[in-house]
Amino acid sequence: MSNAATLRPHAPCHCGGPDAISRPVADTGVAVSHRFTRRHLVGGAGALAAGLAISPAEAQQSATAQSNGNARAFPKDFVWGTATSSYQIEGAVDVDGRGRSIWDTYTRLPDKIRDRSNGDRAVEHFQRYKEDVALMKELGTTAYRFSIAWPRVFPDGTGAPNPKGLDFYNRLIDELLANGITPYATLYHWDMPQALQDRFGGWASRETAKAFGDYAGHVAKHITDRVKNVFTINECATFVDFGYGIAPIEMAPGIKSTQKELNQIRHHVALGHGLAVQAVRAHGHAGTEVGVAENLASCIPVIETPEHIRASEIATREMNGGYLTVIMEGRYTDAFLAYAGANAPVFTDEDLKIIGSPIDFLGLNIYMPQHYVAAPADAAGFALVPTPASFPRMDSDWLRVGPEAMYWAPRNVAKLWNVKKIFITENGASAADKPAPDGRIFDLDRIMYLRAYLGQLQRATSEGVPVQGYFHWSLMDNFEWIDGYEKRFGLFHVDFNTQKRTPKLSAEFYRKLIAGNALV
């Protein structure tokens, strides 16, 4: 077992096997230099103090630089948005011919969802979408990433489309455009038609990958006259490993698989992505761009020195072997196949060509540092360093606070695969968000988290890492999967009884940041 796996039994395994290619920390060669003495610390502190003693003229100069958006500015035309997903916000599960999804089924199984809730009503976005677009406008965002519910469009997964299926999204898209907000659509954020689960076992079958391609083509044909940015799949690693995994099952469809089955399911999901890319190109209007939104296993150098940085690059490639790497390279890495051995997926060269279809941009969902990585003593690649139990977390147990993930993840993928266009498709945090007596919500911990992560994003863009936009997860509190309504990720607080939306202090923080296009 790798240290990472030992320490975090819940951690999703993105590659089908970190064990074979990582080494225990004892081998890492991370030596703490004993020459780093108190004398050095004192010297460092002295330098800092000297730096703080700035003259009034310097202070004035720095204030001017900031108001011009220099020192802490983001690139001109940087895209600021928010993100949501269909099942988490829409409700209206029986309206206009929508078919059942696997989450309708899963939420009804006993003891799956912490507060025994479901998305039947969610936050009534289906009815309140105009109000919600007004919230986006209030923030000053100019982009919005939402997902389309496959069972609204194809209630049976395949066959005849439901003529009313896209009506809601057309209304939403038109409302966004009328308010100067650019729509970014995700085709799959986990709400698979139940019919495909019943007929094919969902992603266990290639048939589902094909059906996804057909659905993608249909949607592209009907919305890309107005929606120019399309994401195929949200977080392959998450719904596969937690929905079909050998890890504890925490997501629909809630099926345990063998390692061999799991690798085959991973392959079908990657194939579904590739088929969808091709379908969007075949059926989309001119100028449509397409990519994937992946929650990659971010790999952070334990110390920012060349050998550990190099190790983090190698780890980024290997620890994402099941999705991002095969999508970017059109082949499974040798380490991935060697580790899988007899459990490797069955695939053809043609499959790999489809999976590796060129994409126009890469979406990265970045919440936490997945792995801290060191150079091993024998320079044979990389070693995973276990995360200490005392590592800081937000309100969700899994959400470790490691802002440097926001720098290293895009920096490493840009370098590894020469990616020219990256969006941060999700970033955000759960917080306890208790309204004060006057109803206001001072979510200082969320602001702390955002300031730290966005600082690292600004560091990345200022060094030329090609991140062109950021979508905050989430616009408003919503149905947080197995945590039901108990974990809140919104910039707007939602009273789940009255459906009233109230801006949190973080909404004000984000609004100010967007207005200046610079950190605040």
Active site residues: 235, 426
For the bound state, the minimum distance from the C-beta of residue 58 to ligand GBH, rounded and expressed in Å, comes to 42
Amino acid at 138: E
For the bound state, the minimum distance from the C-beta of residue 333 to ligand GBH, rounded and expressed in Å, comes to 23
Q: For ligand GBH, which is the closer residue by CB, 224 or 370?
A: 370
Yes or no: say if 327 and 270 are a contact pair by the CB < 8 Å rule.
yes
Q: Vertex 332, ends 330 and 338: CA angle to 5°? A: 165
Yes or no: say if 491 and 504 are a contact pair by the CB < 8 Å rule.
yes
- Token reading at 23: 């080494």
For the bound state, the minimum distance from the C-beta of residue 159 to ligand GBH, rounded and expressed in Å, comes to 28
CB atoms within 10 A of CB 385: 24
Yes or no: say if 292 and 417 are a contact pair by the CB < 8 Å rule.
no
Q: For ligand GBH, which is the closer residue by CB, 399 or 419?
A: 399
Helix (H) / strand (E) containing 62: helix 56-67
Residues that bind ligand GBH (CB under 6 A): 10-11, 85, 234-235, 238, 242, 250, 295, 365, 367, 397-398, 426, 473, 480, 489
Yes or no: say if 184 and 136 are a contact pair by the CB < 8 Å rule.
no
Q: For ligand GBH, which is the closer residue by CB, 351 or 426?
A: 426
Amino acid at 216: A
3-class DSSP assignment, residue 14: coil
Alpha carbon of 105 to those of 21, 167, 185, 251, 254: distances in Å?
38, 24, 25, 11, 10
Q: For ligand GBH, which is the closer residue by CB, 90 or 480?
A: 480
For the bound state, the minimum distance from the C-beta of residue 283 to ligand GBH, rounded and expressed in Å, comes to 26
For the bound state, the minimum distance from the C-beta of residue 48 to ligand GBH, rounded and expressed in Å, comes to 36
Q: For ligand GBH, which is the closer residue by CB, 183 or 381?
A: 183
Q: For ligand GBH, which is the closer residue by CB, 417 or 485?
A: 485
For the bound state, the minimum distance from the C-beta of residue 132 to ligand GBH, rounded and expressed in Å, comes to 16
3-class DSSP assignment, residue 361: strand
For the bound state, the minimum distance from the C-beta of residue 425 to ligand GBH, rounded and expressed in Å, comes to 9
Q: For ligand GBH, which is the closer residue by CB, 269 or 309?
A: 269
- Name, in order, each residue with C-beta under 8 angstroms of 154's C-beta and a sequence gap of 6 or more: 99, 160, 161, 162, 165, 193, 211, 215, 218
In the chain, % helix, strand, coil (3-state, to 5) comes to 45, 15, 45
Q: Vertex 309, ends 305 and 313: CA angle to 5°? A: 175
- Token reading at 355: 């999976």
Eight-class DSSP state of 304: S
For the bound state, the minimum distance from the C-beta of residue 291 to ligand GBH, rounded and expressed in Å, comes to 15
Give residue for tokens 């809630």. Answer: 254
Yes or no: say if 89 and 479 are a contact pair by the CB < 8 Å rule.
yes
Pair type for strands 501-503 and 492-494: antiparallel
Q: For ligand GBH, which is the closer residue by CB, 391 or 398?
A: 398
> What sign for the dihedral angle of Cα 245, 387, 17, 13?
positive
Length of the chain in terms of residues written: 520
Eight-class DSSP state of 20: G
CB contact burial 207-218 (16+ within 10 A = b; e otherwise): bbbbbbbbbbbb
